[in-house]
Amino acid sequence: MEKLKENQEIDIENLKFENDENLEKELLEKYDIKLDSDESVFYKFTCHSKFWLFIEIFCFLVAIIGCCGVIITGTIVYKIGCLVLLLFLLFSVFPCAIKNFINTGFYITDKKLITFNGKSFLLENLYFKDCGHKRGYYGIDLYENSTFILCVYDRTNRFDNLIALLHKLTNNDIILQFKTNNDKRISIEKTKLK
């Protein structure tokens, strides 16, 4: 695959993605995944550091335990506030953090997204949506139908390369708005990738 310099803007038309045989071997050795004869691996993307995700999950657990303590001993106003916070943490934030911890990255083929834990998802079943601009990072959440897979975020050209590859594989122009140098991003609802 053509390597881009850190400061270079992405020219999607001239970006060439080629089959990476080393990634094919890695998939076979690590996950025992054999690709179809007409399938090629184009990209490997590491989304998250397990260490920071562990710290994040630990903080969520401390907050959950704290909320439970306040619900047991606090006044009615504190109980209601902590119950709302607890429900938000348990059903929204915590499951996403766990899935991000399990799926710290993925491989992209011309047909599938294969996570580092060996699960594969067809590109035609994937959806994406804006996960917001967090701490200088740009990102998208990936879903299989309505099931959250992982949040992909970065602030380097690696993320732009991923966006360019997804555009090349799916011909979805909407995903181009998520390039890191685009300040005119529009928050969108869940959109089919292919």
Distance of CA 30 to the CA centre of its chain: 21
Name the token pair of 163: 């966006």
Helix (H, G, I), strand (E, B) or coil at 156: coil
State the average pLDDT over residues 22-50.
81
d(CA 77, CA 16): 58
Report domain extents, the chain: 12-47+103-192, 51-99
State the average pLDDT over residues 162-180.
83
Helix (H, G, I), strand (E, B) or coil at 181: coil
DSSP string, 123-144: GGGEEEEE---BTTBEEEEEEE
d(CA 41, CA 50): 24
Helix (H, G, I), strand (E, B) or coil at 170: helix
pLDDT digits (tens, 9 = 90+) for 96-140: 888 888 888 888 888 888 888 888 899 899 998 887 655 566 678
Give the model's pLDDT for residue 4.
32
Query: Of all residues in the chain, what percent carry a pLDDT higher than 70?
Result: 81
- pLDDT category at 76 given cuts 50, 70, 90 is very high
Torsion, Cα 38 34 29 32, to 10 degrees, reads 160
pLDDT digits (tens, 9 = 90+) for 51-66: 888 898 899 899 999 9
d(CA 71, CA 77): 10
Question: Does the structural domain 12-47+103-192 have CATH classification 2.30.29?
Answer: yes
d(CA 49, CA 51): 5
d(CA 113, CA 104): 13
Give the model's pLDDT for residue 65.
93
Contact 4, 10 (CB under 8 A): yes
Give the model's pLDDT for residue 87.
92
- pLDDT category at 172 given cuts 50, 70, 90 is confident
User: Is a pLDDT exceeding 80 seen at residue 6?
Assistant: no
Closest among 47, 12, 36, 58 to 109, alpha carbons compared: 36
Give the model's pLDDT for residue 34.
81
